[in-house]
Structure 1
Amino acid sequence: MEKKLRVAVIGVGGIAQNQHLPAYEKIDNVDVVAVCDINEPRVKMVAEKFNVPKACTDYKEILEMDNLDAIDICTPNYLHSVIACAALEKGLHVLCEKPDAVSVAEAEKMKAAAEKSGKCLMVIRNNRYWPTSGFLKKFIGDGKMGEIYAARCGWQRRRGIPGRGGWFTTKAQSGGGPLIDLGVHMIDLAIWLMGNPTPVAVSGCTYNKFANSDDISDSAESRYGDRNKDGIFDVEDLAMGFIKFDNGACMQIEFSWASNIEKENFFVELRGEKAGSSWCSLDQKLKIFGESYGTTTDFIPNIDNTRGPRIHELNIRHFADVVLNGAEPMFVPQQGVNMIKILEAMYKSAEDGKEVRL
């Protein structure tokens, strides 16, 4: 009989209910054996909806379970490292929602705990699993774009603030606004496509202009998070910046929950010696720009990102494959440390008004 990975999901808010738990229902070699959340009515409802045998409100109870292999952390950001380190110390594998942690120090604690335990620590990097991402990674790996020396990426929303007044907009719990919420996605994808160069310097600006605006949304993504009309909004709603890498490459970045633009869009652009590429959510077309036989050329592969499994499901399947079958992990904890270094330095640069060396 095929061995199954026994997982407990800690935190059963929007991301768990809409992405993680539906994905587990489609994966044959994983069983969700418990769910946990501080909201008792919610965790009981989720356990019943997804046919999970155990529900509780204290993650420490989960860590004491027998016959448990791994946990999946879907809590507010500030708890990621706390729960991950505790689980690793108990000898459990850990899958965690992004961002890895709210500080470099906490991300480094997670990395050290994983190394000491010998268990797998993987943080969600679901945008690596788009069919477009896989095609472009192979295209670059075959040398068809040459050296990738510059990039531009971002996720811009017109109106799409998640959980206004809740943990998303409370810096002590989230670590920041759209930079730490959306930035992880597209910065990671761009860096991964570039071959994972090491960041060495960061500069940027952040703005908070919509904290007191009408609570309008035109983004489906803003459904995440519990709202609190009397709560806190002390994070940015727009961040723009610039990253330098150890190999001489650079990257421009922009992330917003609210900004006066035409419509929501996420994008990654790469500039290579032999060719460049552009991919955005507005038309979901990957476009590759080069030259052949004395003329410039545009190449548009026929890739359909709407077919097949959802990218969270593919990321979770990969985690199970790493743990159960020893597959080579696509994500390693040092990449998480480097990511949080970038984000932390961006906030520091915005505060001090100058470049931050890493």
Structure 2
Amino acid sequence: MRSETSLRAGVVGLGWAGRQHMDAYSSQADVELVALAGMEADQLALLGDKYGIAPEYRFADWADLVAANCVDVLSIATPTALHAPIAVAALDAGIHVLSEKPMAENADKAQTMVDAARRNSRVLEVSFNHRRRGDVQVLKQIVDAGLLGDIYYAKAGWLRREGIPGMGSWFTRQAKSGGGPMMDIGVHMLDMALHLLGEPDVTTATAATYAEFGPRGKGASAYGLGRKTEVTADDFDVEDLATAFLRLDGGGTLLLESSWAQWIPYDQCYVTLYGSEGGAAIEWGGEPGDPYRKLGIWTEKDGVPAVLTPVVPPDGGHLETVLQFLAIVRGDAPTEHDGAEALVRAKVVDACYASAAKHAEVSLGG
């Protein structure tokens, strides 16, 4: 029997990310996963059986789930171009929303999500699960404690040697995805960097994008949706590498880069901070069979150079993201969480793409 204090949860999207949300909701005693939506009939049946979803709450169309008035909270794990329409409809129906990143295919669509959250006094959160990493969490504590002093320069990047996801799928079509690696994985690094830096305003963006692999059918991921090698202009109209130089309010700068494919020895991710009193770097990547993770902090003690090795807590991932979302929904000030922080990321990504198209610096002024 359902408790009066339990929350009814639903998930739209039956892929890997959606399943992370399903697992998270199902792990909580005070949450009932009651509805799923997705177009893949076989997966809908399989997952419906796995999570004990009643047949009448297994929907092929997300709009039917929203209209059924059967959930209090909803996770969205669909192609990017569906985030805004699903979120707006759900928020207008009084449902709290947790969307996968990126927030939407552009900042205008992201703004409609924020507007819907505000007019309905509902929670809108966007899942940036990588900020839940243990190394990011401990470095955030170190930065906030002032150990690095004033951070004036930062670098962040996610680089793949060969990892274009789903060549010819929605990932590589601008109308459905909003962009290539800058939108897909670069936004994770942008989020981590701004989070660590204390959310400074980005004032200008100077960016460039390149498509040297995808249009030739090269660089496809060995996993996921296959390795299509014969592509047309309709199959791939996004970048496969993007780089941006961002000026921050207060005079700091952030160098951001992301790629799905380039000639490097192995995949690499990093966030590096340069402060007046110390520096720090998080790195992970490596060969599939030989991955590595590093967290380094360099400073001095009484004039003597010092290297710090803090204890790193376990990663949080999607579970922690979902748990925080649920806590916000149940908290004292849920309307303070309206997606505004994620909207900032969307505006920065838009500015980067605009700069790349114009070959000029773009301002993010008010």
**Structure 2 length as normaliser, TM-score?**
0.90
Which residue identity does 2:213 align to in structure 1?
F
* Alpha-carbon distance in structure 1 between the residues aligned to 2:63 and 2:229: 27
**Which residue in 2 is equivalent to 1:29?**
30
Correspondence for 2:352 among 331, 336, 346: 346
**Which residue in 2 is equivalent to 1:78?**
81
On the 8 A contact 2:12/2:75 being kept in 1, the answer is: yes
Gaps of 5+ in 1: none
Correspondence for 1:136 among 120, 131, 139: 139
Give 1:100 shift: 0.7
On the 8 A contact 1:205/1:239 being kept in 2, the answer is: yes
Say what the alpha-carbon RMSD is for the aligned residues: 2.2
Q: Which moved more, 1:293-302 or 1:102-111?
A: 293-302
**Which residue in 1 is equivalent to 2:151?**
148
Deviations 1:196-241 (A, max 9, x none): 01111001111111112346536xxx52799797661111111111
Which residue identity does 2:41 align to in structure 1?
E
* Alpha-carbon distance in structure 2 between the residues aligned to 1:330 and 1:157: 36
* Alpha-carbon distance in structure 2 between the residues aligned to 1:152 and 1:86: 37
Correspondence for 1:213 among 190, 206, 217: 217
Which residue identity does 2:352 align to in structure 1?
M
Give 1:112 shift: 1.1
Deviations 1:234-277 (A, max 9, x none): 11111111111122111001101111111111111111111111
**Which residue in 2 is equivalent to 1:96?**
99
CA shift in 2, pair 1:173/1:52, >3 Å: same
Give 1:71 shift: 1.1
On the 8 A contact 1:202/1:342 being kept in 2, the answer is: yes
**Which residue in 1 is equivalent to 2:309?**
300
Gaps of 5+ in 2: 286-291
Alignment of 1:110-189 (within 5 A): 110-189=113-192
On the 8 A contact 2:35/2:70 being kept in 1, the answer is: no
Q: Which moved more, 1:71-80 or 1:322-331?
A: 322-331
Secondary structure of residue in 2 paired with 1:162 = coil
Alignment of 1:165-314 (within 5 A): 165-211=168-214, 212-214=216-218, 217=221, 222-223=223-224, 232-282=235-285, 283-303=292-312, 305=314, 310-314=316-320
Identity of aligned residues (%): 34
Matched residue count: 351
CA shift in 2, pair 1:179/1:225, >3 Å: farther
* Alpha-carbon distance in structure 2 between the residues aligned to 1:226 and 1:248: 44
Which residue identity does 1:4 align to in structure 2?
S
Which residue identity does 1:317 align to in structure 2?
L
Q: Which moved more, 1:171-180 or 1:62-71?
A: 62-71
CA shift in 2, pair 1:286/1:329, >3 Å: farther
